[in-house]
Amino acid sequence: MATDAPAIVDIYNHFVRSSVVSFEEQVVTADTMLQRMGLHDERSWPWVVANNTATNELLGYAYASTWRARSAYRHTAEISVYTRPESAGAGIGTKLYAALFNALQNHSIRMLVATVALPNDASIALHEKFGLEKVAHYPQVGFKFDRWVDIGVWQGRLPTARLP
């Protein structure tokens, strides 16, 4: 996974530089991304990638992380997915989330939470495809590119979660 960090950074920094999908305002380095990938917490959260098998180009990635730090939240994960812009609509996000949700089966996760900068019809459709529902809307909580941005929060139970 460490060898994927430069390609992951390339995808992520596209969104940092050109959209409100990420509220980050400064591009990140591969070293920073490696820290994020390995230092979420002791759980070693899963990261999954999708590659073009013909060119070996990384097309996207998805990951889970701690939603909140307090122990009572330990069965809830925050999820995110990013794909290359030219891969939009090709089903890469769906494949990545399917792989991520499969990987989360071994992490005692029951609930998933995703934060979406609005508007973002494609992201909303992806999360709802996996059964997540909008549970919150926070108007004007982010400020990027000289404008205020809303976020929505989607939540759903991990498919086949076995916890109470």
DSSP classification of residue 24: -
DSSP classification of residue 158: P
Query: How far does CA 135 lie from the centroid of its chain?
Result: 17
Let me know if residue 9 belongs to a domain.
yes
Total count of residues recorded for the chain: 164
Residue 55: CATH number of its domain:
3.40.630.30
Contact 46, 103 (CB under 8 A): yes
Q: How many domains does the chain have?
A: 1
Let me know if residue 164 belongs to a domain.
no
Q: Which residues pair with 157 in a beta bridge?
A: 111
Query: For the whole prediction, is pTM greater than 0.85?
Result: yes
CB burial class (10 A; 0-12, 13-18, 19+) of residue 92?
buried
Q: Could you tell me what percent of the chain has a pLDDT over 90? A: 75
Let me know if residue 162 belongs to a domain.
no
Model pLDDT, residue 106: 83
Model pLDDT, residue 38: 75
What is the tens place of the pLDDT at every residue in 24-49? Answer: 999 999 989 888 887 444 557 899 99
- Own/partner contacts of 141-147, CB < 8 Å, gap of 24 or more, are 142/20, 142/23, 142/117, 144/20, 144/23, 144/25, 145/20, 147/20
What is the tens place of the pLDDT at every residue in 97-124? Answer: 999 999 998 888 999 999 999 999 999 9
Let me know if residue 163 belongs to a domain.
no
Model pLDDT, residue 162: 55
Rounded (to 5) percent helix, strand, coil in the chain: 35, 30, 35
Residue 36 is part of which domain span? 2-157
